[in-house]
Structure 1
Amino acid sequence: MRYRNPPLDDFMVMPLPSLTGYLWYFPLDNGYAHVGAGDYYKQHVKYLNDFMRRHGGEVVMKIGRPVRISPPHLCQPIMQNNLVGVGESIGVVYPALGEGIIPGMHNAQLLASCIEEGRLQEYPSKVLKKFNVYEKVFQFIRKKIKGEFNLLRDFRLVLSAFLHMKLAEDRYGMVIRLKDWLRVVEG
C-alpha cells in the first residue's frame, strides 16, 4: 500500500475472531506499507477491505500465498537421505502469527551448527526440541478453530504460547500481557 499519511508508525498484528487468522500492517519508507491478512475460513479479504476503508491508501500490488502453520512434528521427515528441510517446509512458522522469516533464520543457524559440528544426524531431533512450543500453539489454534477449546482444560496450551512470547518480547517487538492473551483466547 502507498499512503500520503500512513495510518500507523509502527507494525501491527491483529488476530481475527477465534484465532482463525490475522491482519498485519508493516510500515516501510516513503509512505509505503505491507498490509495483508490470512484466515483459515478465507474471510481475510473482508477484514483487509475494512482496514483499507478505515485507513485509505492506494493498492500498489496484490500478492497472495497460503502459509503452512503445521508444526515440525507434523512435517516429518525433516531429513531423508541427502535432503534436509529448513523453515516453512518443515513447519518452522510460529502458528499464532504465521511468522516464518525469523524462525527460518534460527532454523538455518541450527542446521549450519549441526553441519559445522559434524552432527547432521542430530538435526531433526534438535528442530523438534527447539520449536516444540509451536506444536502447543498449533494445538491451541486448532482447538479454537474446531470449537473444541476449553480454557480450564487447555490452559497449559495458552500458557505455553503466552510464556513463549513473553520471554521473547524483544524478538517479537511487542509487549506481551496476559490480559491481552486472555482477550484473544476468549475472542
Structure 2
Amino acid sequence: MLFGLIVACEVAFWVLLGAGLAVRYLLRMRRLGGLLLLAVPLVDLVLLVASVADLHAGGRAEFTHGLAAAYLGFTVAFGHDMVRWADVRFAHRYAGGPPPNRRKRYGRERARYEWHAWGKAMIGWAVACGLLLAGVVVIGDLERGAALLAWAGRLTFAMVVWLVFWPLACTVFPTRAPVDDRAAHSSGRQN
C-alpha cells in the first residue's frame, strides 16, 4: 500500500506543478497558480504522515518505508529546484520569459555545478537518513527496523559513487570545450 502511495505522491507532485504553471501562465491567474505551487510540498507531508502512522501501528519496516524516506529526503533537497526549472521553461515557452540558462558542460564551471549538485544531494541524504533513523526510533526495535538501516547504507553508497564519478571526476579530469566552441568563444572576445 505504501508503494502505491509513493507513486501517487509522485504523480500528484507533477500534476500540481503542471496545474500551477498552467494556471499561472496560460490562464494568467498568478495568485491561484502560486497557491497550487505552494501545495506541492503538501504531497510530501501526506507521505510522511502515512509512513510514520504505518510504522507506529507496530508494523515491520519494509523496503517501501526506506524508499519513502529517500523520496522525501531528495524531494526536500531538489524539489524547489525542480519547480524553478519547470517555471523558467514554462514562462519562456508560454509567457515570453527569458530563455533558461544552459548548464555548463566544460571545465571549472562544470565542476562547480557538479559539486553544488552533490552538496544538495548530501542535504537529501542527511534528511533521508534522519528520517530512517527516526523510523527506527518509532519502531523501537533494531530487528524490525533493519530495512531502514539497510536503506541508509544504500543511500550512503550512492552518494560515494556520485562523489567519485561526478564532482571528483570533473575536478580531476576537466573536459575542455571542443575546438569549434573555443573558436566561437575567442572570436566573440575580439569583437
TM over 0.5: no
Higher helix share: 2
TM-score (norm 2): 0.28
